[in-house]
């Protein structure tokens, strides 16, 4: 019975959050200073054409009826039709989202692989130069605008040194050589046996994932340091040292093992942030993902596509939060 109550509470919480997300995106679409009717018919349309399109979009209905229609359409998988591409927004999002997923996944992998050891190192050398260096890296990662880092990276490593390829997911020569199956170019290239395309796509990932990964490293390292400092002050750490355990065993097995559960939440939140916050990175690197799609739609006053993309990003964020919560309960018996 207790498990059933908790499950129902979790479902109710997710449903309420999704409802709030739908309400916020709906209200944003109504308060932005962009007329969706004019965006659809153009500013030279006749009054009759304008009125007919307004009626077709349901904008002549009371606000609560518009919201009810919006919720019903979204529940049926209808996010509207993009003015820019003349295709269903959901179809566009499914086409471009794998590019963002690929970019964010590699970036968060880099962030976790470097951020966790960096945080442990900073905590075990508190007040010394490794701690100061890692905290400075965290400050840079959070303070420097990501679009500026992207532009400087392109100018230095692409234009000057020619160490990395230019913008895009692959060179123009390789475009269209691999049939999209998963939408992830590296995975599709391996499935097709196209090693040249795989390595070219991997090289294109290096710079944008390094830029995004810097933000992830800064966040994960800072949180890991905080968690580790708290654990290193606990009595069980003193007991382990008194028993003669090596410092490496005390730090990496006992202390780090006890912060593994909250670290799962931190990494999941970092992943969600990268998925929703890669707009500027994708714009700078001409990366054909969801961020660039939303940016181009906004510049074209295509609010249907903008709100559809925003809704998808919000849903992914909620899903990752739910996943981290479930993993937290799974890994920590006290949470159960």
Question: What CATH number did the domain enclosing 171 receive?
Answer: 1.10.3720.10
206: left (phi over 0), alpha (psi -120 to 50) or beta: alpha
The answer on 98 and 60 residing in a single domain is no
Report the residue count for the chain. 336
* pLDDT tens readout for residues 102-142: 998 999 999 999 999 999 999 988 888 988 898 888 888 77
* pLDDT tens readout for residues 255-275: 888 888 888 888 888 888 887
The answer on 135 and 47 residing in a single domain is no
The answer on 189 and 318 residing in a single domain is yes
At 250 the pLDDT is 85
β-pair partners for 81: 88
The answer on 58 and 134 residing in a single domain is no
In a domain, 85, yes or no: no
Burial of 111 (0-12, 13-18, 19+ CB in 10 A): buried
Burial of 155 (0-12, 13-18, 19+ CB in 10 A): exposed
What percentage of the chain carries pLDDT values higher than 70? 94
CB atoms within 10 A of CB 169: 23
In a domain, 325, yes or no: yes
Computed over every residue of the chain, the mean pLDDT equals 83
At 10 the pLDDT is 66
* 47 has a pLDDT exceeding 60: yes
pTM for this prediction: 0.83
| DSSP code, position 173 | G
In a domain, 87, yes or no: no
At 113 the pLDDT is 92
At 1 the pLDDT is 64
The answer on 151 and 38 residing in a single domain is no
At 336 the pLDDT is 55
Domain that holds residue 174: 94-331
Q: How far is residue 313's CA from residue 275's CA, in Å, rounded to a whole number?
A: 7
């Amino acid at each position: 019975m207790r498990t059933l109550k908790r499950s129902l509470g979790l479902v109710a919480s997710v449903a309420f959050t999704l409802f709030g997300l739908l309400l916020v995106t709906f209200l944003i679409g109504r308060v932005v200073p962009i007329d969706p009717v004019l965006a659809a018919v153009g500013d030279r349309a006749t009054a009759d054409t304008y009125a007919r399109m307004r009626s077709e979009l349901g904008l002549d209905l009371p606000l609560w009826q518009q919201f009810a229609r919006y919720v019903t359409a979204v529940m049926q998988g209808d996010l509207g039709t993009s003015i820019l591409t003349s295709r269903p927004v959901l179809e566009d999002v499914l086409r471009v989202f794998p590019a963002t997923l690929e970019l964010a996944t590699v970036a968060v992998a880099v962030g976790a692989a470097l951020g966790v050891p960096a945080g442990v190192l900073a905590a075990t050398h508190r007040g010394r130069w490794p701690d100061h260096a890692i905290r400075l890296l965290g400050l840079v990662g959070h303070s420097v605008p990501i679009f500026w880092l992207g532009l400087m990276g392109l100018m230095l490593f692409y234009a000057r040194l020619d160490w990395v390829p230019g913008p895009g997911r692959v060179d123009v020569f390789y475009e269209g050589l691999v049939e999209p199956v998963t939408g992830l170019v590296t995975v599709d290239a391996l499935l097709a046996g196209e090693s040249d395309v795989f390595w070219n796509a991997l090289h294109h990932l290096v710079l944008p994932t390094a830029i995004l990964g810097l933000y992830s490293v800064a966040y994960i390292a800072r949180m890991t340091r905080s968690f580790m400092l708290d654990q290193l002050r606990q009595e069980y750490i003193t007991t382990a040292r008194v028993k003669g355990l090596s410092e490496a065993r005390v730090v990496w097995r006992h202390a780090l093992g006890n912060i593994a559960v909250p670290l799962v939440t931190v990494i999941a939140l970092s992943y969600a942030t990268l998925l929703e916050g890669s707009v500027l990175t994708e714009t700078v690197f001409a990366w054909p993902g969801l961020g660039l799609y939303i940016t181009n739609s906004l510049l074209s006053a295509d609010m249907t596509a903008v709100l559809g993309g925003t809704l998808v990003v919000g849903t992914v964020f909620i899903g990752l939060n739910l996943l981290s919560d479930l993993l937290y309960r799974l890994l920590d018996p006290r949470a159960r």
